[in-house]
Amino acid sequence: MGEPAGIGGEIALKAWLARGERDLPPFVLLDDPARIRALAASLGWDVPVAEIAAVGEGAGRFADALPVLPVPLAVPAAPGKPDPANGRAVIDSIDRAVALAQAGQVAAVVTNPIQKSSLYQAGFRWPGHTEYLAHLAGLPDDGTVMLLEGGGLRVVLATIHVALARVPDVLTADAILHVARVTNAALKADFGIAHPRLAVAALNPHAGEAGSMGREEIELIAPAVAALVGEGIDASGPHPADTLFHAGARSRYDAVVCMYHDQGLIPLKTLDFDTGVNVTLGLPFVRTSPDHGTALGIAGTGQASASSLIAALHTAARIAARRASPA
C-alpha cells in the first residue's frame, strides 16, 4: 500500500496500465479496493479493480483487471494529507505481504513509499521499512543491508537512517564488515555476479589525508578492508568519495560500500532518479521498492512516474527467479 495519501496508489495503477508494453510480472496490490477505484476514477483512468479473497487468484485476473487484496483504511485518504488514523492499515499491508512471502504464496514483496512521520504517530517505532522488515524476519535492526541500484551503479550503506552528526560515533569496522559480507553473498546469489568487486568509500574528504582530516580511515575502514581481503572478498579502499562515482571508476567495481546515507544516494539519484530501485539484502524473502518518497506535493494529480516501481517489480522478479533456480 504505502502511504495512502501519497503517490503509491497512482503509480500502481500506472504500472498496471503499462503491463503489456513493459512486460510486467503479475502483481497483487494490498490496499483498500474502494480507494483504488475512486483514485482511478478521479484520474480518468480505465482500470478495472478486481477485489480478490486470496492472493492465488491474482495471476488469473491480472491480464484484465488490477487484483487487490483488501486492506481497509480507517478513514478516507485525502491526497497530500497523511492521516495517522490510517497508519495501522499501512503497517498491516506490510505485515500481510511479508507473511505471504514467508508462506511461499508470493515470489517477492515490493513496497510502496511510506510516510514515516505519520506512522510514528500511529506507534511505529522503527526508523524505516528496512529495519521493520528485518524485525518481521526475526533479524536485528542492523541485520539487513540496503542496496540501491540504478544508472549502472549499486551502492550499499554501512549506516542508514542516522543523523549525519552521529555517523562517526555509530560507524564501526564490524558494520562495514557485515555490509560487505552480505553484499558479496547477495551479488553472487541474487544478481548472478560470480566474482563481485567491492569498492569501500572513505568517510572523510581525501580519505582523511593520512589522518589530518580524521582517523576513521586508518582505524576503522582500512582494517575492515584488509579483513575482507583476508576472507577472499575482492574489496578495495578506502577510496575518496569525490572520485569514486565517475564513469571510469564505476567500471572497476560492482558495488560501493558507502559510509552514510547521502554518500550513496546522491550519486545514484543523480545518475538515475527515475528508475532507481531499493533492494533489501539479507532477508529470507525478496523485497524491493521504488527509490523515491511519497511525493505528497503531487499526489492525486497523475503526474507521478511509475518507472521506479516498474523497475522494482522487474528486479524482484529476476531475484526471485534466481533464488528459485540457483546456478
Give the tens place of pLDDT for each residue, 9-62.
999 999 999 998 889 999 999 999 999 999 999 999 999 999 999 999 999 999
Strand order in the sheet with 29-31: 29-31, 66-70, 49-51
Residues 153 and 271 sit within 8 Å (Cβ to Cβ)? yes
* Three-class SS state of 70: strand
Strand partners, 81: 78
- What's the CA gap between 65 and 48, in Å, rounded? 5
- Domains of the chain, with CATH numbers? 1-141+286-327 (3.40.718.10), 152-271 (3.40.718.10)
Residues 90 and 250 sit within 8 Å (Cβ to Cβ)? no
pLDDT at 294: 94
| CA-closest candidate to residue 232, choices 263, 202, 197 | 197
Residues 292 and 303 sit within 8 Å (Cβ to Cβ)? no
261 is in an annotated binding site: yes
269 is in an annotated binding site: yes
246 is in an annotated binding site: no
135 is in an annotated binding site: no
Whole-prediction pTM: 0.93
250 is in an annotated binding site: no
Sign for the CA dihedral angle at 89, 93, 98, 100 comes to: positive
Q: How confident is the model at residue 327 (pLDDT cuts 50, 70, 90)?
A: low
287 is in an annotated binding site: yes
- What's the CA gap between 97 and 101, in Å, rounded? 6
**pLDDT tens digits, 162-218:** 899 999 999 999 999 999 999 999 999 999 999 999 999 999 999 999 999 999 999
